[in-house]
Amino acid sequence: MMRQVELVDRVRRYNPETDEVLLNRAYIYAMKAHGAQTRASGDPYFSHPLEVAAILTDLHLDDATIVAAVLHDVIEDTESTREEIDRLFGPEIGQLVDGLTKLKRLDLVSKRTAQAENFRKLLLAIASDVRVLLVKLADRLHNMRTLHFVPPEKRARIAEETLEIYGPLAGRMGMQRLRDELEDLGFRHLMPDAYATITARLNEIGRCNNQRVASIEEEIAEALAGEGVAAQVHGRRKQPYSVWRKMERKHVTFEQVSDIFGFRILVDTHAECYRALGVLHTRWRCVPGRFKDYISTPKPNDYRSLHTTVVGPGRQRAELQIRTAAMHAIASNGIAAHALYKEGFTRDDSSLRSESRAFEWLRRTVEQLAEGSSPEEFLEHTKLELFNDQVFCFTPGGRLIALPRGATAIDFAYAVHTDVGNTAAAAKINGRAEALLTELQNGDQVEIVRQEGQLPPAIWETLVVTGKARSAVRRATREAMRAQYAGLGRQIVNRAFERAGRPLAEDRLKVALPRFARASVEDLYAAVGRGELFSGDVLKGVYPDIADERRTITALRPGAEAGWFAVRSSSHLLFHLPGASAETDWKMLAKRGCYPDLPVVFANGGALPGDRIVGILDPESSITVYPIQSPELTAYDDQPERWLDVRWDIKDDDRQAFPAKLEITAINEPGTLGLIATVIGENGANIDNIAMRPISREQRLLVADLEVSDVKHLSSIVAQLRVRPIVSKVERVNG
């Protein structure tokens, strides 16, 4: 374990002005706070924060960051508090440590939700102070270095999280050297067989090609020196995880991966980068389509370099990267390297923000936090942007838009502005009219043709690849649904007031809004449309003296077996069920719009207790019940007089079975169907029918007809299916 004096010495080597008293105080405080705690390896727990601090000293970070690393677990794992850290070490360090502390004592329904909430908190803290990210990545790196001491199940979860989130996040912030080690360790633990196989093949190729690589290095250096360009040339081998991802992404074998070796050329100035490129292209034939200029057009993570592939010495294809030493420092250490060109970090990191393009992506991501999406949606959107390589496109005015590889013109439109995406009707790519779903290529100039007043189709949510576009489409769909609910609610409230013979004035509704905890009349109408408020309650809120007349559906049974429509009033129950009798003036009820002799049937697709439901009246035959989300209801939009405001009247202990349908997208592998059936069965539901069809080589769509008791029952099944790794999507089907 690193001693106190060793920590101070490590910092003093690059910062002679370090605050030794502060470092010593943090060391002693953390050592006492962690006390006798131990890690899975049996080592004292305090050794972990010291190793995290050591990793950060290699990046030459400031005193506050090193102290935060030493203290980063004290709030989470000991009796220490944020207030105590603020008092002893100052609010700057307290804020850093708090940003690294996981959320506690939350009622989270799954580990996935907990992961999403903690990641959301982490990104917010990073947006406030980038040093939180540096400590977090160093923390994850040391945990990965000691992962072999962790039980296998937990080890797999941590390795998967590292490959899905922390490795790509390090890469998006430009910290490639740290990303490589994180992904190497994650790959080794998550897929040990694949890791061992690819590593063995790479080592074999390395042994066979050492001499050839050295020869190419020498020949490139001599060619440049002959033209007066001083350069350092280094051969490099592709990382195992990078090779595996390329094999997976392009569906190729190991032998078909052509860029196992590459060569990095370091020169002194920007101008010499282009001079070196000219020398090499003159000396050897370049491979068409393989040149990229990331100096004039840097990547979003600040990466700058010239990339080219030539048919080089010995007629061997060679990938070349040409950059300056300063560019190489940024390529290796990303945002951490920015500190090397400043006088250390300050409390105001605005200078880092202005010079780091990586912060542009981070700010865009954090903006989604204000969109009201769920933690799982936020994590999903962030992963989409973390994982993808980039393509660079331009607006007609020359503005550069960076997008993930595979992005379409729709993603481009939303990247320009949300309003542009929502109103996108067509696209012109390089002057030619193309479909909005056209996949974009590097250098494309894209013009979006807009049509005001239109809304994005809900299907776009499944077609776009950027988190911003997916979030915007989902939000627009929700707003459109809210408008639809508000329109329905307005009709229902109007009819309720008409039946009562009372005028409906929106100014009187505004006065009554506080009684219903609604901010606007539109919100009130939407609540009625969704079934959150009963129209009679709205009527009574405006006219308290009016009698309560409401109708409910009772003893409903699904399928062809019909229930009966019953009417409740404020004073008595009027009903007409087989074998029952009541002295009732049916004509009087009919005048009020009630038809007690009509059987009640369910529309196709069914409705569940807990659903917002409406009845469609056919005075000659029946009342048909639909869930409010049923697409079949659009056929009755122009017939508001047939809509009945109805409610469920099912007792809690009445365990009737109601039909429901789910569409489940799952991985095609042995045991998938059995696992899904087990989840459904363990939740007390019955599978009435199930069908399966392929949607790709790797995935299948299962359509399951179930019998459940209510919406809550179905939602529980859906939630438990969604957390299964083999399941990628679960949706309820209506109508």
Whether residue 557 is predicted with pLDDT greater than 50 in this model: the reply is: no
The CA distance from 280 to 365, in Å, is: 40
Whether residue 376 is predicted with pLDDT greater than 70 in this model: the reply is: no
The separation between the first and the last C-alpha atoms of the chain, rounded to the nearest angstrom, is: 65
Check whether residue 251 and residue 186 sit in a common domain. Answer: no
664 against 639, higher pLDDT:
664
Residue 331 lies in a domain: yes
Residue 302 lies in a domain: yes
- Range in 168-182, 285-299, 493-507, 701-715 the model is least confident about: 493-507
The CA R_g of the chain, rounded to the nearest whole Å, is: 32
Q: Please identify, among 339, 357, 391, the residue that sits at the C-terminal boundary of a domain.
A: 339
**What is the mean pLDDT of the segment spanning 514-534?**
79
**CATH number of the domain residue 236 falls in:** 3.30.460.10
Confidence of residue 228 (pLDDT cuts 50, 70, 90): very high
- Range in 365-374, 428-437, 675-684 the model is least confident about: 365-374
Domains of the chain: total: 4
* pLDDT value at residue 55: 93
- Range in 63-67, 90-94, 432-436, 724-728 the model is least confident about: 724-728
Check whether residue 168 and residue 288 sit in a common domain. Answer: no
∠ CA 119-122-127, nearest 5°, is 125
DSSP assignment string, 427-469: EEETTEEE-TTPBP-TT-BEEEEE-TT----GGGGGT--SHHH
Active site residues: 76-77
* pLDDT value at residue 345: 40
Residue 162 lies in a domain: yes
**What is the mean pLDDT of the segment spanning 516-530?**
81
Check whether residue 612 and residue 679 sit in a common domain. Answer: no
Check whether residue 162 and residue 259 sit in a common domain. Answer: no
The CA distance from 662 to 706, in Å, is: 8
Confidence of residue 725 (pLDDT cuts 50, 70, 90): confident
The CA distance from 359 to 688, in Å, is: 52
302 against 360, higher pLDDT:
302
**What is the mean pLDDT of the segment spanning 241-249?**
84
Confidence of residue 206 (pLDDT cuts 50, 70, 90): confident
* pLDDT value at residue 221: 92
Distances (CA, A) of 22 to 2, 4, 17, 91, 550: 17, 12, 12, 14, 71
Residue 517 lies in a domain: no
Check whether residue 210 and residue 178 sit in a common domain. Answer: no
Check whether residue 222 and residue 185 sit in a common domain. Answer: no
Check whether residue 637 and residue 703 sit in a common domain. Answer: no
* pLDDT value at residue 360: 63
Check whether residue 286 and residue 144 sit in a common domain. Answer: no
DSSP 287: P
**What is the mean pLDDT of the segment spanning 287-301?**
84
The pTM is what?
0.54
Whether residue 269 is predicted with pLDDT greater than 90 in this model: the reply is: yes
**What is the mean pLDDT of the segment spanning 120-131?**
70
What is the percentage of the chain residues whose pLDDT exceeds 70? 79
Residue 438 lies in a domain: no
Q: pLDDT tens across 398-422, in order?
A: 777 878 778 899 999 998 988 999 9
For residue 400, how many C-alpha atoms fall within 13 Å in the half-sphere facing its CB? 13
Please give the residue range of the domain that contains residue 610: 553-648
* pLDDT value at residue 332: 86
Check whether residue 249 and residue 332 sit in a common domain. Answer: yes
Whether residue 363 is predicted with pLDDT greater than 70 in this model: the reply is: no
Give phi and psi for 540, each to the nearest 5: -70, -30
Q: Please identify, among 170, 190, 210, the residue that sits at the C-terminal boundary of a domain.
A: 190
* pLDDT value at residue 523: 84
* pLDDT value at residue 553: 40
* pLDDT value at residue 125: 67
**What is the mean pLDDT of the segment spanning 77-84?**
91
Q: pLDDT tens across 380-402, in order?
A: 555 555 545 567 788 888 777 87
Whether residue 224 is predicted with pLDDT greater than 60 in this model: the reply is: yes
Residue 151 lies in a domain: yes
* pLDDT value at residue 22: 94
Whether residue 495 is predicted with pLDDT greater than 70 in this model: the reply is: yes
Check whether residue 272 and residue 328 sit in a common domain. Answer: yes
Q: pLDDT tens across 666-720, in order?
A: 888 888 898 899 999 888 899 988 999 888 777 889 999 888 888 888 888 988 8
* pLDDT value at residue 103: 44
Work out the number of other CB atoms within 10 angstroms of the CB of residue 423. 18
**What is the mean pLDDT of the segment spanning 3-8?**
90
Check whether residue 172 and residue 290 sit in a common domain. Answer: no
* pLDDT value at residue 728: 82
Mean pLDDT over the full length of the chain: 79
Confidence of residue 316 (pLDDT cuts 50, 70, 90): confident
Check whether residue 213 and residue 321 sit in a common domain. Answer: yes
Q: Please identify, among 339, 359, 377, the residue that sits at the C-terminal boundary of a domain.
A: 339
Query: Which is it for the CA torsion 253, 255, 258, 264, positive or negative?
Result: positive
Residue 227 lies in a domain: yes
Q: pLDDT tens across 435-460, in order?
A: 888 888 877 889 999 888 778 887 88
Confidence of residue 230 (pLDDT cuts 50, 70, 90): very high
- Range in 36-40, 177-181, 442-446, 647-651 the model is least confident about: 647-651
Residue 426 lies in a domain: no
**CATH number of the domain residue 8 falls in:** 1.10.3210.10
Q: Among candidates 223, 40, 220, which has minimal Cα distance to 148?
A: 40
* pLDDT value at residue 127: 65
Q: Among candidates 127, 139, 64, 62, which has minimal Cα distance to 100?
A: 139
**CATH number of the domain residue 702 falls in:** 3.30.70.260
